[in-house]
Amino acid sequence: MPRVLCTALSTETGPHFELLRSAGFDCDVVDRSLNLWDEQSLVKAADGYDAILAGSEPFTEAVLTQLPSLRVLSRTGVGWDAIDAKVCDRLGIVIAITPGVNHDSVAEHTIALLMGVSRGFPQSDHEVRQNVWQRVARPRVMSRTLGLVGLGRIGQAVAWRAIGLGMKVLACDQAPSADFVASHNVELVSFDDLLARSDYVSLHVPVTPETRHLIDASAIEKMRDGVVIINTARGPLIDETALISALESGKVASAGLDVFEEEPLPAESPLLKRQDVLLSGHVAGLDQESHRDTCKMAAETIISLHRGDWPGNRIQNLHDRNGWQW
């Protein structure tokens, strides 16, 4: 009986159990007391499993080479930068994602962070709890300019919501949908132009060698004074040291962050001490609907691959297949 381990957070419940067990798989949930960001702890947990219903745990070369039974890493989400794809290619391990199931959740969370920091949270909340009663006039969101770095499924879902709030939307993307841009009156601009013209900058691109620290001191310097930065994509897109310096100087007015360079966010992070930063713990893509649909798709991918099918729109590596079989 092939074995599946669920390491992704919140996978203690969901439709994946019934799907996998009905298809003849043994399905377990990882011991949550383990630190899965420690390589040897992850190896110990995953040893002997054929497939993993994975989260953002780091499947590095050191981990992957110690898991001889592993055939599939089925990610509950669309990001897979924590997985060493070259090693997976070499070892014949399939990397799969769940496209098209969480973009509405991420978009809603992005707007929530944007509106929250725009209206003075978390500072206002903290002040009231401390019996400090201040009234501060803040810029209205309506009529302001939102710059979207990335206009894929998530960027588009954010765009039409922002337009509904009365915002002007700029976007930069390597291959934007011409139909979406035309029908929603989104203005396509260069990255530098977006930085210079946006009141809010929201990130919706994957982490690659080219995008790591995309928002660094140089990029921030090109932004408007008092800009707001939102990140619900991947933490390493932002140089956190540069962001903290810009918050301290006032160049950046505030930030809404769901993702971080190191996760979980270390207790000593300066971000935790700032009342001009609204934080959440990598949950933007998680709502009840996305949880159900993501777990279902991740399980279906494992089952499909075991049966000899190849759901190519979900698979991110082994593009020529090389005769891959379970």
Q: Which residues are catalytic?
A: 234, 263, 282
Quick one: tokens of 272? 């935790």
Q: In what order do the strands lie in the sheet with 26-29?
A: 26-29, 3-6, 51-54, 72-75, 94-96
Exposed/middle/buried for residue 6 (C-beta within 10 Å: 0-12, 13-18, 19+): buried
Q: Amino acid identity, residue 203?
A: L
Beta strands in 156-257 (DSSP E): 168-172, 187-188, 200-203, 227-231, 252-257
Q: Is the bond leading into 122 cis (omega within 30 degrees of zero)?
A: yes
**Strand partners of residue 73:** 52, 95
Could you list the beta-strand ranges (E) of the chain. 3-6, 26-29, 51-54, 72-75, 94-96, 145-149, 168-172, 187-188, 200-203, 227-231, 252-257, 277-279
273: helix, strand or coil: helix
